[in-house]
Amino acid sequence: MRFGPNEEQAALRTAIREMLAEHANAARAAYSRPDSRLWERMTGELGLTAVGVPEEYGGTGANFTDVAFVQEELGRALAPVPFFSSVVLATRVLLESGDAGILLPDMVAGKVLATAALVEAAGDWTFAELSTTARPDGDRWILNGEKHFVTDGTTADVLLVLAHAPQGPTLFAVRVAARVAMDALDATRPLSTVILRGSYGDLVGPPGGALPVLDRALRAASIALACEQAGGAAACLDMAVAYAKTREQFGRPIGSFQAIKHLLADVLVDNESASAAALYAAWALDHAPGEAPALANLCQAFNSDAYVAAAKANIQVHGGIGFTWEHDAHLHLRRAISARALLGPPEAHRERIADRILSAPTGESR
Amino acid sequence: MDLASTPRTEAFRCGVRRFLAEHLPPGWRGLGALSVAERARFTPRWRETLREHGYLGVAWPEEYGGAGLSTLEQSALQEEFVRAGVPLLPLPTDPFGFSLIGPTILRWGTEEQKRHFIPRILSGEHRWVQGYSEPDAGSDLFALRTSARLVDDAWVVNGQKVWQTAGDSANWIFVLARTEPSAARARGLSLLLVPIEQPGVEVRPIRTLTGEAEFCEVFFTDARTDAGHVVGARGDGAKVALTLLGYERGAASGALYAGYRVELERLIELIRSRGLDADAGVRRRLAWCWSKVEILRVLGLKTLASVQAGATPGPESSILKLYAAEYHARITELALDLLGSDAMVRSGDPGAAKIGVDPLGTPNSPSAWQHAFLTARAGTIYGGSSQIQRTTLGEQVLGLPREPRPEGGRT
Ligand SMILES: Cc1cc2nc3c(=O)[nH]c(=O)nc-3n(C[C@H](O)[C@H](O)[C@H](O)COP(=O)(O)OP(=O)(O)OC[C@H]3O[C@@H](n4cnc5c(N)ncnc54)[C@H](O)[C@@H]3O)c2cc1C
């Protein structure tokens, strides 16, 4: 039994940490002049585009805990890189669609950056009302509509777009479309609007078959995001603890006051829970797939709240300095509150959990 | 990450299930389904069955009558018993004998003490309670004042202990007492084993907030025990008394999870039977409870993995204690909210519940849930209150500076 990274995973984690330390200012730079060198290095030197991807597409192997540990580390540093968009979200959509061969090898090779453009202005992750449409045109399709909150949408080479085709909700790979950067509260994860006006798309997966594909892909994405959130929450706690040890008031370090100590102890308990839940869910995705759907909702709901709580506590512990632009505390608060909204609010995830529990036969609510 | 159960553990688990299937009474629905009288008849017989089949003291070495099980096996065993709704430590005093003083004697005791006391815990001849807390020494345990001095070949004990769970059915008490009056607070203590049935010891029941007498206070007036009945060295009592707590939490996390699952299933039944399954607020709170229980399972796995890898459980075990106690207070409160105005009136079969998570078969009645709600308050007080756990986590896990306190405080 082992609960934690194996040797290779630990080594990759260290390498990521060291590289991020060399680009220590990257998160802050995202708010003015983004640094694209970081992702180039992560792709070229660390091979992050291959992580968790099956070997047949040139990846390091289908092991989702590899993704989990990377994502946790990136979250810790607020790394402004498109790992989640391309290596998690788009990759999972492609793998689940059965059409991974068309794009994934180029993504792994670092030649193509992809993301998924799924929700619209209402941010509805049930995709109940899609206004984006697709109609066939020879062996291609023509798409019309608008997609919102597309992560890394401006820099991606390929967008995996969900649109309503005559057969029902369907996914398409779109290369040419207008993208407008949204003014993201969390600049470390850029968001765009994608405007499709007769844009050409190529079919990804079966026509009309997008929803089950997305259900599975978003399960993995939820878990990966939860790992990222756990990493972010851990960074907040580290910052707060370090400050509480050194900042003195009333002749004592503020960390010796119970009001501060107990606040941080509660953050610790939630952080341990968040990290354990997300890592376990990542493991379950490969090894106990029956548990994965519920765990994905669980850790997305729980970790969203845990990260926000940790980010808020961090600012509180820092006092006035935590309220300044120069301090990194607000970068986490922005990330935390945005990440909580990214794949639907915790209430929506809890609602799906309740659905599962209450519709299960008595005694089988797991 | 490698969390798959091994064939060995699974085979062991199957063995436990077979044992339970063979030995539980026909039509068994869980201890919670028995009346008080039925429980009183069932429990001693069940304990004998466990003893005959080597299911008592399973963690202990075989040479002392134990089964020498690994932590993983213990955890699986506890979990299966909780699922079946049947006790592994049947008598109210058994948790103190098997989880506290037994392991303490095995770790710190002399060979003679081991040969004398361990078999008597197994047989049930010695029924133990824990004598730590005093009226003026609770969280600040090392402020305790009960004293013991060596007179000829016996310790003479004077003072008062309080909150002794199961004190009314015990005949031995392990007492943390001040034996070195000149030494500083924590360094002046020793752990003594004292027989209760003697003129110098008086046990008085105390009614808990439910109205039941589940704990006692114990008065010592020139009570006596053998000079040899000190566990570990004189003056080492603080260390001896507290080091083993972490181990117990490690192996018990599986059982904790299983118990909370049983309770949650009962809550889901309550939601259904009251037609609240479409209520949005109820659904969210249920999903929250479910998530907390599942996370507890994962935290338990993590603890087991680290114990199995040879790590000594340290102050991180406070995470589980705090987590579990706070959760339990919340779910039992949710149950009373679900009862609506029925929460105000005692009605239905109260079951035969004790402090702790109610066993399988406990009636789904207002009375039973009210009892659970009231007794859930204890979890955040005993064994180190939630505040003390937070201080432990802050100082010993996060490394925050200590708050000013007298030398040798408990945490
Ligand atoms: C159901 C039950 C069973 C028990 N069984 C046993 C038993 O078998 N044997 C035994 O020896 N004892 C037993 N106890 C006693 C238990 O260990 C004590 O109640 C516990 O240690 C708290 O001590 P206290 O009651 O004196 O409360 P206090 O220590 O007086 O605490 C009162 C309040 O002050 C808070 N507080 C105290 N110190 C601090 C601090 N430094 N910082 C912040 N807050 C603080 C506490 O958290 C609590 O909220 C039992 C208690 C209960 C409720």
B101 lines ligand 1 (CB under 6 A): no
Residues of B with catalytic roles: 248
CATH code of the domain made up of A7-112: 1.10.540.10
Suggest the residue from B299, B398, B402 to mutate for an interface test with chain A (most A CBs closer than 10 A).
Answer: B398
Other beta carbons within 10 angstroms of residue B206's beta carbon come to: 14
Q: Does any CB of chain A come closer than 8 Å to the CB of residue B283?
A: yes
Nearest to A269 among B286, B291, B323 (CB): B323
Contacts of B398 in chain A (CB under 8 A): 237, 241, 255, 261, 264-265, 268
B381 lines ligand 1 (CB under 6 A): yes
List the domain boundaries for chain A: 7-112, 115-208, 212-359
Give the model confidence (pLDDT) of B323-363 as tens digits.
999 999 999 999 999 999 999 999 999 887 788 899 999 99
Q: Lowest mean pLDDT of A235-244, A357-366, B172-181, B310-319, name the range.
A: A357-366
| Percent of residues in chain A assigned helix, strand, coil, to nearest 5 | 55, 15, 30
- Regions of chain A with pLDDT less than 50: none
Ligand 1 center from residue A358 Cα (angstroms)? 38
In a 3-state reduction of DSSP, which class is residue A340? helix
The residues, ordered by sequence, that sit 6+ positions from A103 with a Cβ below 8 Å of its Cβ are A90, A94, A112, A114, A158, A173
Domain A212-359 fold:
Butyryl-CoA Dehydrogenase, subunit A; domain 3 (1.20.140)
Query: pLDDT band at residue B411, thresholds of 50, 70 and 90?
Result: very low
Choices 3.30.420.40, 3.40.190.10, 2.40.110.10, 3.30.360.10: CATH for A115-208? 2.40.110.10
Other beta carbons within 10 angstroms of residue A26's beta carbon come to: 22
B288 lines ligand 1 (CB under 6 A): no
Give the model confidence (pLDDT) of B193-247 as tens digits.
999 999 999 999 999 999 888 899 999 999 999 999 999 999 999 999 887 665 5
Alpha-carbon distance of A352 to A355, in angstroms, equals 5
- Residues B269-291: what's their mean pLDDT? 97
B174 lines ligand 1 (CB under 6 A): no
DSSP A6-32: -HHHHHHHHHHHHHHHHTTTHHHHTTS
Residue nearest to atom 27 of ligand 1 (CA): B138
Report pLDDT for B410. Answer: 46
In a 3-state reduction of DSSP, which class is residue A148? strand
Bridge-partner residues for B307, per DSSP? none
Residue nearest to atom 40 of ligand 1 (CA): B388
Which ligand 1 atom is the nearest neighbour of the CA of B387? 47
In a 3-state reduction of DSSP, which class is residue A282? helix
Which residues between 72 and 131 in chain B have a beta carbon less than 8 angstroms from any beta carbon of chain A? 72
Residue nearest to atom 23 of ligand 1 (CA): B138
The whole model's pTM is what?
A: 0.95
Q: Does any CB of chain B come closer than 8 Å to the CB of residue A65?
A: yes
Interface contact flag, A366 B283, Cβ < 8 Å? no
Give the model confidence (pLDDT) of B359-381 as tens digits.
999 999 999 999 999 999 999 99
Q: Please, is B277 exposed, middle or buried when counting C-beta atoms within 10 Å of its C-beta (0-12, 13-18, 19+)?
A: middle
Nearest to A1 among B261, B305, B394 (CB): B305
